[in-house]
Amino acid sequence: MSQSDGELPEGLFPALEGLCYLNAAGEGPLPRRAAQALARATREKERPESLGRAQYFDLPAALRERIARLIGASTEEIALTGSTSTGIGIAARELPLPPGGEVLLLEGQFPANVLPWSAAKRRGAVVKSGPLRQGESPLQAVRNAAGPRTAVVAIDWVGFASGVKAEIEEIADLCRRLGAIFVLDGAQGVGALSIDVKAAGIDVLACPGHKWLLGPPGTGFLYVSKRWLDVIHPYNAGWMNLAEKQGFRNLLSIPKEPPADATRLEAGTPSYVLFSAWLESLDLLLSLGAARIERRLMALAETAREAASRAGLEVISPAGPPLRSQIVVATAGRRTPAVFRSLSASGVVTALREGAIRISPHIYNRESDLARLETAARQALKEES
C-alpha cells in the first residue's frame, strides 16, 4: 500500500521491528521521536535550573492547540488531565443535575466511564445502566433506556471489548431533544477515528493519551463545550494558569477566581516531561491527518477480520457500518485463552478482554502483520483441536 493510503515510512517505530504488535487499544507505543523528546526532557529535569516558561506554560498551550485541532474544538475548551477517569470524574462532580435526574450509561462500558459517576449519586442523581444486547446499536439502546428524567447520557465511543462504534451524531441529536448533556468516553476512538466535536454535538469528551494518541501514560485531556464551562467550578482550580499572567514572584496576589477557559479544570504543575513526548506524537498524527488515519485503520481492521476468519476464529465485532470500528474482536470458544497465549508466545501481541481476543492495529502496522496473525492463529487452533 502506498504512503498516500496511510502506511508510514520505515523507522518511526524502530522498537516494534520483529514484533507483530496489534494492541493499540491497550497501550500505544511511543514513536521514536517521542521517546527522544522524553529523554531530553528527563535530562532537563536532572538539571532543572533552565526550567521555566517553556515547560510550565508554552508546552501545555501547544498541546491544547494540537488537541483542539485534532477534535475540532477551540483551545479554550481543552483541559489537560492525566486520564479518562479524571475527565469523567470532573463531569460527574460538576455538571448540573436536577434532583432525581438520571445519568444513563450502557452495559459493557469501560470502568473509567462507570465508576466516577458515583460522585453524581452523592449529589442525588440516579445512575442507571441501559441494556446493550449483542448486535444492538448504542443509539437504539439509548432510545430504549432514556426517559423524561434523563439528564446525562455518558457512553463509550467504541466498546473496548466489543468493537462496537456508537452513532455519536444521532445520539447527540437525541440528547438535545431530551435536554440531556452528552458525555463521551473517547478512549477507543480519538487518534484512530476522525471526529469534529462541534459538528457531532458533543458536550463533554474525555480521553487518555497513552492509547491511540501514542503518548505516555499519565496524559489525557478533557473537552468541555463552551456552553457548559461557566457552570463547572472544580474543587481544585488550577492556580498555575493564573500565575502565568504575572509569573511566580508574586503568587499571593494572583487572582482568586479560576480562569474563564478550560484550564480552570487543570491543577498544579503540568507534567512537562510527559507532555514533551506527547506533543511529538500528536504532531505525527496531525501530519498524517485524522481522515487518512481512519481510512488506513479501517482497511487494516477489515484485513484483520478476514485473516482471523480464514484462520478459523469467529469474529464477533460488527461487520459493517455504522457500528464497525477499527477494533476487531474474535473468539475460539473455550479455546480462546489458549489461543491468546499461543499468539503471544509467537510474538503476535493482541489482548484478551472479556473472554475474547481483541485485535487493534494502528498506523505502524502493515498487511504482513495480519498475515502473521492468520498464520499464528491457524497454528494455535490446530494445536488446541
Q: Assess whether 183 and 298 both reside in one domain.
A: no
CATH at 213:
3.40.640.10
Name the residue among 377, 372, 368, 361 with its Cα closest to residue 29.
361
Q: Assess whether 242 and 334 both reside in one domain.
A: no
Q: Assess whether 255 and 314 both reside in one domain.
A: no
Q: Assess whether 203 and 244 both reside in one domain.
A: yes
Range of the domain at 90: 37-286
Residue 1: per-residue pLDDT: 35
Digit-by-digit pLDDT tens for the chain (385 residues) are: 344 455 788 899 999 999 999 999 999 999 999 999 999 999 999 999 999 999 999 999 999 999 999 999 999 999 999 999 999 999 999 999 999 999 999 999 999 999 999 999 999 999 999 999 988 999 999 999 999 999 999 999 999 999 999 999 999 999 999 999 999 999 999 999 999 999 999 999 999 999 999 999 999 999 999 999 988 876 567 788 788 777 788 888 887 788 889 998 998 899 999 999 999 999 999 999 999 999 999 999 999 999 999 999 999 999 999 999 999 999 999 999 999 999 999 999 999 999 999 999 999 999 999 999 999 999 999 998 7
Over residues 216-234, the pLDDT tens digits come to 999 999 999 999 998 887 6
Residue 4: per-residue pLDDT: 47
Residue 255: per-residue pLDDT: 79
Structurally, the chain folds into a number of domains equal to 2
CATH at 15:
3.90.1150.10
Q: Assess whether 142 and 255 both reside in one domain.
A: yes
Q: Which helix (H) or strand (E) holds 130?
A: strand 126-130
Q: Assess whether 147 and 249 both reside in one domain.
A: yes
Of 268, 286, 304, the residue that ends a domain is 286
Of 234, 267, 286, the residue that ends a domain is 286
Sign of the C-alpha dihedral computed for residues 205, 109, 352 and 162 taken in this order = negative
- Cβ atoms of 220 and 83 within 8 Å: the answer is yes
What are the angstrom distances between the C-alpha of 182 and each of 103, 148, 157, 163, 185? 10, 15, 11, 21, 10
Q: What pTM value is reported for the model?
A: 0.96
Q: Assess whether 117 and 183 both reside in one domain.
A: yes
Name the residue among 193, 181, 262 with its Cα closest to residue 223.
262
Q: Assess whether 341 and 303 both reside in one domain.
A: yes
Q: Assess whether 345 and 242 both reside in one domain.
A: no
Of 286, 316, 342, the residue that ends a domain is 286
In the block, which residue shows the cell 493564573?
242
- Cβ atoms of 186 and 195 within 8 Å: the answer is yes
- The number of CA neighbours under 13 Å toward the Cβ of 15 is 9
- The number of CA neighbours under 13 Å toward the Cβ of 308 is 30
Other CB atoms within 10 Å distance of the CB of residue 292? 17
Under 8 Å CB-to-CB from 334, ≥6 apart: which residues? Answer: none
Q: Assess whether 311 and 372 both reside in one domain.
A: yes
Q: Assess whether 357 and 212 both reside in one domain.
A: no
Grid cell of 342 as nine digits: 499461543
Q: Assess whether 91 and 45 both reside in one domain.
A: yes
